[in-house]
Amino acid sequence: MRQQVGPAEGGLRCTRCGAAVEGTRHTRTGYTVGYYVLHTGRTGEGSMRRRDDEAPVIYRRLLETVEVVSCPGCFARSDVRRLWLAFGDEESTAA
């Protein structure tokens, strides 16, 4: 029987403190979050049409992926949480 390799075995670590993180653990009555991931990176503009007669839908697409990983300990910190909540805001002064 083949075993799945979890994030800790694959070397996934918190970007801020470097702690090894594990996947979310589920029980009968709840769950414990193992880590949070923010997908970011360089983006480019894309467009698509659903039908010939519709106006194009303009969107941002991720060209080069960068994953920012946070352990629950770092994510619980108010300064880290503020950065994550403000991420992507044009007028953000959090960074």
Mind listing the pLDDT tens digit for each residue in 44-82?
A: 999 988 877 788 889 988 899 888 899 999 999 998 888
9 within a domain of the structure (yes/no): no
The upper half-sphere exposure of residue 44, i.e. CA atoms within 13 Å in the direction of its Cβ, equals 5
Q: How far apart are alpha carbons 95 and 89 in whole angstroms?
A: 11
15 within a domain of the structure (yes/no): no
Domains: count for the chain:
1
* pLDDT given at position 92: 43
60 within a domain of the structure (yes/no): yes
16 within a domain of the structure (yes/no): no
Per-residue pLDDT band at 18 (split at 50, 70, 90): very high
Helix-strand-coil split of the chain, %, nearest 5 = 15, 35, 50
66 within a domain of the structure (yes/no): yes
28 within a domain of the structure (yes/no): no
Structural domain harbouring 41: 37-86
4: amino acid identity, one letter: Q
What pTM was computed for the model?
0.62
26 within a domain of the structure (yes/no): no
Buried b (16+ CB within 10 A) or exposed e, 66-85: eebbbbeebbeeeebeebee
57 within a domain of the structure (yes/no): yes
